[in-house]
Amino acid sequence: MSAGFRAFFATFFLALSTLATVPASAGTLQCAPFARQVSGIDLHGNANTWWGQAEGRYDRGHEPRVGSVLAFASSRSMPVGHVAMVSKVVSGREVLLTHANWSYRGGIERDVRAIDVSPNNDWTDVRVWYGPTGGLGLRSNPAKGFIYASAPKAADAAPVQIASADATGAAALRAAF
């Protein structure tokens, strides 16, 4: 084996062993990028801005639907809010959520229970399963509602006018729908 070849392998293995001992420096998984990835709803920024950003871009409402994102409001315990995707609708007042960074820093939780405890049954106050207690959290959390993956429906457009000729060759307009 040539000296150059040995030097290459020595450098290669030194670099490989250095990589193996350096800890990863990736950041903690946050709820907003995770919700964007699993729902397809293309909003960015802190979770507490999603509800406002969705206006005019996505349908919003207070009925849970699979694939929608439940947008939590800011609160003292959640200053930047939270977002979670609905993975299953159990009933009008219970869903299963898939989300990140709730019970455990950077952790992903799939199909965890959330219930609507709002007095008007509108999902503005929600209790969510919390890993450290093994049950629903001790406090409820304020929410704005659901952001649906579909874009808002366009207003009915005016009928399209189509020109056509009659037997005499005269042009006429008729509405086509």
For residues 172 and 137, which has the higher predicted lDDT (pLDDT)? Answer: 137
pLDDT at 151: 72
Express each pLDDT in 51-82 by its tens digit. 999 999 999 999 999 999 999 999 999 999 99
For the four alpha carbons of 77, 111, 127 and 81, in that order, the dihedral sign comes to positive
Asked if 113 and 104 count as a contact pair (C-beta separation under 8 A), the reply is: no
β-bridge mates for residue 143, sequence order = 72
Tell me what the mean pLDDT of segment 102-121 comes to. Answer: 97
Tell me what the mean pLDDT of segment 121-133 comes to. Answer: 97
How distant, in Å, are the alpha carbons of 36, 59, 165, 166 from that of 20?
A: 32, 47, 78, 81
pLDDT at 156: 44
Q: Give the pTM.
A: 0.72
CATH 3.90.1720.10 fits 31-147, yes or no: yes
Domain boundaries, the chain: 31-147
Does position 116 have pLDDT exceeding 50, yes or no? yes
For the four alpha carbons of 44, 47, 49 and 52, in that order, the dihedral sign comes to positive
Does position 127 have pLDDT exceeding 90, yes or no? yes
pLDDT at 168: 53
Count of C-beta atoms within a 10 Å radius of residue 123? 24
For the four alpha carbons of 27, 28, 32 and 37, in that order, the dihedral sign comes to positive
pLDDT at 35: 98
> Which residues have C-beta within 8 Å of that of residue 121, sequence separation ≥ 6?
92, 93
Confidence of residue 1 (pLDDT cuts 50, 70, 90): low
**Which of 5-14, 97-106, 111-120, 139-148 has the lowest average pLDDT?**
5-14
> Which residues have C-beta within 8 Å of that of residue 142, sequence separation ≥ 6?
72, 73, 74, 75, 124, 125, 126
Tell me what the mean pLDDT of segment 116-131 comes to. Answer: 97
**Which of 66-80, 127-141, 153-167 has the lowest average pLDDT?**
153-167
